[in-house]
Amino acid sequence: MPKGKSDPGDGKGLAGFGRYAGPATLILSSLADGAKHGYALTKDVESFSGVRLSPGTLYEALARLESQGLIEALDTDDRRRPYQLTAAGAGALKAHLDAQRRVAEVGLRRLAGNWGTA
Amino acid sequence: MSAAAGPRESAANRAARLLRWYPRPWLDRYGAEFTELLIADIADRPRSRARTLDVSRGGIVARLADAGLTGGPVVPARAGTASARASLGALACSGAVFLVVGAALWSQLTIGWQWSDSAGTPAALATTVTSAAMIALLALALTAALPVLLAIAANFTRQLIIPAAVLVTATTLLFACGRHFGNGWPGTGGHRGLVPGGLAAFEWATSLSVSAYWAHPGALAAFPAAEVAWMAASPLLLAIAVLAAATLVRRAELPPRLLAFETRVGLVACAVMAVFLAGCGCWVATGGQRSLFHAGVIDVAGVALMALALALARQAARAAGCRLAPAGR
């Protein structure tokens, strides 16, 4: 790959993914459950999020995640190559989801306080 | 063959067509698995315009990254100096777009200059600056092309035959037709020559396609049929010539020192293009002031297109330099 793999401890996580952060989060969340190939990833992401990742978008995100060392391809004789989460990827996903949870908790608390909904 | 082989074969053919959007290094790494995903996706959604758009967009992004025009680790690196050659190919394409559009604007200025007793200050400044820059750009293009052609001739291989033949044919046709249609140059007989008339006429003829007449079919219909055909065919010929040249540069095993030289020439050309653009910008910003130098919407669009081409050319030249550095000069 053209760029060196990022240090798992560099703390950048998904911050540098820009508009690919959404697909990247979905892919990492899916792989947290175990290794999957492209089509299995698409179906799994669709089942838990309702979002169907189109093939071009999926592989753009996979290539970025792989080049950053957040996922890795497994050796296989099958043409459908599976990918698995790396330790750096697990750390980046946890940091990202923790940040999202903090935002969600603040939003829900304010909704409950001012609008009576939660 | 099973009954299911038919639909799978059809899906595989459609997947193969979609894969054409992607560059070779990307296909070498992801092609097989991406094909499998596309076949499965086509089975789920036989007709999906969103998928076609998504894949074509992804392929364009990958091709831009492969040429060094966008950041992001989307495409695996090519071996040796191939990545730098891909960037130089992109530089050639961007430079060609700039030259053609620039030639069209410059032709308008030179024709106005030929027939006017005195140009206003912005138009005079623009004509002088763009004329000097255009001659410098043509000289730089020759400086860049000659050593590459010599190197290719010295190490000619079978895989270069087709792009070389296409390049020779397209440039010969362009030159012959450009000379022929240049006879109708509106500057002939004018009394103020700033550049050789033959050069101005040739540039005018080869950039006739950059015209506001496309938006006025009625006016276009009054043109001789051969001239309209040339207006339509010349950009196609130019594109074929430039793509053939870029293919030659990408396929030929050019030494790193020559590629480094080409990169430096490219960076100098970008500086000259910036001067040319500034000259045109000065003219367009004032609206041309006098009738012969009137700047219209097509000229504003031309300046915008040249600015984009210059930005891409500069990015490609910088990418070529960065990609050559690890290869060692």
pLDDT tens readout for residues A70-88: 999 998 878 889 999 999 9
ipTM > 0.95 for the complex: no
**B120: its two tokens:** 């206003």
Using the predicted structure, report yes or no on whether residue A5 has a pLDDT greater than 90: no
CB contacts < 8 A (A, B): 73
Closest chain A residue to B58 measured between Cα atoms?
A56
| Å between B53 CA and nearest CA of chain A | 9
- Tens digit of pLDDT for each residue in A9-60? 444 566 666 666 789 999 999 999 999 999 999 999 999 998 899 999 999 9
Which of B54, B75, B83 is opposite residue A56, by nearest beta carbon? B54
| One-letter amino acid of B311 | A
Whether B76 sits inside 8 A of A2 (CB atoms) is: yes
Q: Decide if pLDDT at B55 tops 90.
A: yes
Pairing of strands A71-73, A83-85: antiparallel
A39 contacts on B by Cβ (under 8 Å): 36-37, 40-41
pTM of the predicted model, to two decimals? 0.71
- Residue B204: its pLDDT value, please? 85
Residue contact A60–B74, C-beta within 8 A: yes
The phi-psi region of residue A83 (left if phi > 0; otherwise alpha if psi is between -120 and 50; otherwise beta) is beta
Other Cβ atoms within 10 Å of B314 Cβ, number: 19
Degrees, nearest 5: CA angle A63-A68-A71: 70
Share of chain B above pLDDT 90, in %: 34
The CA–CA distances, whole Å, from B110 to B115, B174, B194, B203, B204 equal 9, 21, 8, 11, 9
Residue B110: which residues within 8 A CB-CB, separation 6 or more? B127, B131, B187, B194, B195, B200, B204
A60 lies within 8 A of chain B by CB: yes
Site from B26, B34, B70 to mutate, A interface, most A CB atoms within 10 angstroms: B34
Q: What is the pLDDT of residues A105-114, one digit of tens each?
A: 999 999 988 8
**Shortest alpha-carbon distance between residue B176 and chain A (Å):** 44
Q: Please enumerate in sequence order all residues whose Cβ is within 8 A of that of B105, keeping only pairs 6 or more positions apart, or say none.
A: B130, B210, B280, B283, B299, B302, B303, B306
Looking at the predicted structure, is the pLDDT value of residue B328 above 80? no
**Res. B2 pLDDT band, cuts 50 70 90:** very low
Which pLDDT does position B194 carry in this prediction?
73
Contacts of B30 in chain A (CB under 8 A): 59, 62-63
pLDDT-derived band at B73, boundaries 50, 70, 90? low
pLDDT at B206: 85
Closest approach of chain B CAs to the CA of A62, in angstroms? 9
Helix (H, G, I), strand (E, B) or coil at A36: strand
Mean pLDDT of B125-145: 91
pLDDT band at B18 (very low <50, low <70, confident <90, very high): very high
Q: What is the mean pLDDT of residues A81-98?
A: 94
> What are the CA-CA distances from residue B137 to residues B159, B174, B274, B319 (Å)?
30, 18, 11, 21
Which pLDDT score, from 0 to 100, does residue B329 have? 44
Residue of A nearest to B31 (CA): A79
Write out pLDDT tens, residues B103-123: 888 888 888 777 776 656 777
